[in-house]
Structure formats: structure tokens, C-alpha cells
């Protein structure tokens, strides 16, 4: 039996030493040392040995097991190291190869104008206020002094969900919400940017959905000259500090007096850019501000309109088509 064990040892040693990969090594471990392996099967015959022989054979079998186990583990280490080295050799990075081009996105021109306008007004002490796009008749029309028969209230001009609820037609609905929340506290100095919806047919200058920024200031002693100063500052920061403006009389239900503001373009002449006015006393009153004590001014413009004037864009639909040839022109903005 000792002879059989020594033979087994020599065969196993030779095979382990000449193994070329980790899988073969695993198989050899099972073959020689596993539960159904060759060493175990030789040891099963120990029952037939004399009591003197048994400890000697047992000791030899243990010695062989230990020897084979340590041989397998050192060979495993050796093969793993070889495998790793091979991998490292094959995976060397050639740092001289050209890199993959990175595609860099650009801020959408409407987003850029939105952020620029926010920055300018925040710089003049305004806060940004937001409200829902699905609005009630109360905040979209009633609180802003639109009479019941005003054409904007017509089902044909606005997207109604039911007779009381519609998609807001201007961000002016945010202002009465903010004023009511302030419960008569002053100053109110807010801008309201956001999407608005009108039931228009889309063409080069109209879209059923566009973006506005409207602003509102309410305090004691707010005047038309402050309105003009704030809006001239905004316009000159947006279009250049030499830009000239003019004010024309206009009409909005929520302001009295109302004006439209034009900027002067040497090639195109006067271009309308903003609507504005002193907040109508009835509008102040409805939102909890006594018009005997407080006055206010408000203004509004389309973000698309500002972007079209600033970048010389002639069709509003360019903003929504996501044509990369158009959008890439704003890469460095
Ligand atoms: C309250 C009181 C007054 C907001 C104002 C305008 C003038 C205006 C339009 C211009 C073109 C928006 O993009 S547009 O359709 N807006 O001309 N908006 S004053 O006045 C308010 C708002 C809220 C409580």
C-alpha cells in the first residue's frame, strides 16, 4: 500500500508541476485529493492493514496530502501571477493614440436668455417666483381685471380643461398668488419666468406654447420713472449699453397707464420688446394691497422675442425643432 501511495505521489507531483492553466490544476485537485479522489480511494483499503502498519500508512498518506496541497497552492499562485502578467502585457495603453472626440452639448438659446434675464433682475434686487401652468380662471383672468367678456377668455383663444380651469395664457397669474401669500407685506419685487399657452396657429411669429418673463414691483411711492429706469437698465445689459428706447402708450387690463417699449436698431428701426405699466388700482386691491398707500409697476415680455431680437432669428419655430445645425450655433453661449 505504501508503494501504491508513493507511486500516486510521483504521478500527482509530475502532473501538478506540468499543469499550464488554473482549470487543469483544479481538476487535478479533485482527481487526487477530492472526496472521490485517488488518495481517498487508496486509503479506503486501510481496513485490511495490520494495526502496526496502519499508523505508518496513515502518516504517509497525510504527508502526501500536505505535500500535494502545498504544491497545488504554490502552482496556483504561480499560474495566477502568470495570467495577470499576461493580461497586463496585453492591456498596455498606448498613450500616443488620438483620444475619442468628446461631444459637448450647448445651452439652448431660450434657456440662455432665461438665465441671463434672471441674473440681470436678481442683480436689481428681484426674487424669482413660480406658479402652476394649469391655472384657474380666478388667477389667470379675474384677479388681473379681465372683464367677463374679454376676448382672451373666449374658448377659441385659450386651452380650457373645463370652464374654470385652463392652461395659463400668461405668467401674470403668478403675481396675484405671490401677493396674496405675502398678505399685504412690502416690498414685492418679483419676476415670474415660465411657459404659457395660447390657442394660436403656429407660424414664423406665433406659437401655441412659448415662454414669458413678467415682473412686478409693489411698494410705497413706486413710480413710472422707476419703471423706466429698471427696464432701461435691463435692456442695456441685454442689448448693449448704448441701446436707445422709447415708450408708447398702450392698453392692458392689469395696468393703467400702460406702455409698450421699443428698442432702436440702426438697420431695422424701432422694435417692440416689452409691455409694461403702473399696476391698476383694482388689481392691487384684489390682492390685498390698499391702492391709497401702495403703487406698483409691472412688465412682461416673451423669452423667444428677446432671443429672436438678440440673435437675429426670423422664425420662432427654430427654437422647438431641435435641428442640430441651428442649436450648434449657440455652442459657445
Ligand atoms: C399683476 C399686475 C400686472 C404684467 C405685464 C405686460 C405688461 C405685457 C406681454 C408682452 C408680450 C407678455 O410675451 S407677451 O405676450 N406682457 O405686455 N405684462 S404688464 O402685468 C401685471 C402682472 C401681474 C398682478
Q: How far is the CA of 12 from the centre of ligand 1 (A)?
A: 92
Which pLDDT belongs to residue 61?
83
Which pLDDT belongs to residue 37?
84
Which pLDDT belongs to residue 148?
84
User: Which residues are 134's β-sheet partners?
Assistant: 167
Q: How far is the CA of 22 from the centre of ligand 1 (A)?
A: 77
Q: How far is the CA of 299 from the centre of ligand 1 (A)?
A: 5
Which pLDDT belongs to residue 285?
98
For residue 287, the ligand 1 atom closest to its alpha carbon is 24
Which pLDDT belongs to residue 21?
86
Which pLDDT belongs to residue 59?
86
Q: How far is the CA of 214 from the centre of ligand 1 (A)?
A: 6
257: its cell numbers: 397707464
Residue 256 assigned ligand-binding role: yes
Which pLDDT belongs to residue 45?
79
- Which residues form the pocket of ligand 1, taking CB atoms under 6 Å from any ligand atom? 144, 170, 172, 175-176, 212, 214, 216, 252, 254-255, 275-277, 279, 283, 298-302
Which pLDDT belongs to residue 212?
97
Nearest residue to 126 via CA among 67, 192, 224: 192
Q: How far is the CA of 67 from the centre of ligand 1 (A)?
A: 91
Regions of the chain short of the pLDDT cut 50: 333
CA 218 from centre of chain: 34
Predicted confidence (pLDDT) per residue in 31-51, tens digit: 888 888 888 887 777 778 888
Q: How far apart are CA 212 and CA 279, in angstroms?
A: 18
Which pLDDT belongs to residue 28?
87
Which pLDDT belongs to residue 254?
97
Which of 205, 217, 298 for mutating ligand 1's site (highest number of atoms within 8 Å of CB)? 298
User: What would you report as the CA-atom Rg of the chain, rounded to the nearest whole angstrom?
Assistant: 42
Which pLDDT belongs to residue 155?
79
Which pLDDT belongs to residue 8?
85
Which pLDDT belongs to residue 288?
97
Residue 295: phi, psi to the nearest 5?
-130, 170
For residue 176, the ligand 1 atom closest to its alpha carbon is 24
How many angstroms separate the Cα of 275 from the Cα of each of 22, 69, 251? 80, 89, 9
Q: How far is the CA of 142 from the centre of ligand 1 (A)?
A: 15
For residue 143, the ligand 1 atom closest to its alpha carbon is 24
Q: Atom 16 in ligand 1: which residue has the minimum CA distance?
A: 300
Q: How far apart are CA 269 and CA 266, in angstroms?
A: 6
Which pLDDT belongs to residue 331?
81
Which pLDDT belongs to residue 325?
92
| Beta strands, E only, the chain | 127-128, 134-136, 160-162, 165-167, 188-197, 209-219, 245-252, 255-265, 269-279, 295-302
Amino acid at each position: 500500500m505504501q508503494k501504491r501511495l508513493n507511486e500516486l505521489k510521483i504521478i500527482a507531483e509530475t502532473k501538478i508541476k506540468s499543469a499550464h492553466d488554473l482549470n487543469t490544476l483544479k481538476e487535478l485537485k479533485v482527481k487526487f485529493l477530492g472526496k472521490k479522489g485517488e488518495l481517498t480511494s487508496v486509503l479506503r483499503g486501510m481496513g485490511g492493514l495490520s494495526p502496526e502498519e496502519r499508523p505508518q500508512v496513515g502518516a504517509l498518506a497525510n504527508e502526501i496530502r500536505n505535500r500535494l496541497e502545498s504544491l497545488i497552492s504554490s502552482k496556483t499562485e504561480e499560474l495566477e501571477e502568470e495570467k495577470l502578467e499576461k493580461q497586463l502585457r496585453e492591456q498596455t495603453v498606448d498613450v500616443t493614440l488620438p483620444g475619442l472626440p468628446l461631444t459637448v452639448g450647448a445651452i439652448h438659446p431660450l434657456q440662455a436668455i432665461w438665465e441671463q434675464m434672471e441674473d440681470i433682475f436678481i442683480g436689481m434686487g428681484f426674487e424669482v417666483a413660480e406658479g402652476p401652468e394649469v391655472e384657474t380662471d380666478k388667477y389667470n383672468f379675474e384677479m388681473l381685471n379681465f372683464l367677463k367678456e374679454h376676448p382672451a377668455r373666449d374658448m377659441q383663444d385659450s386651452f380650457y380643461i373645463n370652464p374654470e380651469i385652463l392652461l395659463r395664457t400668461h405668467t401674470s397669474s403668478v403675481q396675484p398668488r405671490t401677493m396674496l401669500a405675502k398678505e399685504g407685506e412690502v416690498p414685492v419685487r418679483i419676476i415670474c419666468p415660465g411657459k404659457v399657452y395660447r390657442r394660436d396657429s403656429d407660424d414664423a411669429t406665433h406659437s401655441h406654447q412659448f415662454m414669458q418673463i413678467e415682473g412686478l414691483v409693489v411698494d410705497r411711492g413706486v413710480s413710472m420713472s422707476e419703471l423706466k429706469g429698471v427696464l432701461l437698465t435691463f435692456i442695456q445689459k441685454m442689448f448693449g449699453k448704448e441701446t436707445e428706447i422709447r415708450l408708447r402708450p398702450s392698453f392692458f387690463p392689469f395696468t393703467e397707464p400702460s406702455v409698450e417699449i421699443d428698442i432702436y436698431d440702426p438697420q431695422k428701426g424701432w422694435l417692440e420688446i416689452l409691455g409694461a405699466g403702473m399696476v391698476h388700482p383694482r388689481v392691487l386691491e384684489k390682492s390685498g394691497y390698499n391702492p391709497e398707500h401702495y403703487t406698483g409697476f409691472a412688465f412682461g415680455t416673451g423669452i423667444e422675442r428677446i432671443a429672436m431680437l438678440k440673435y437675429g432669428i426670423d422664425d420662432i419655430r427654430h427654437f422647438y425643432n431641435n435641428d442640430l445645425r441651428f442649436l450648434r450655433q449657440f455652442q459657445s453661449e
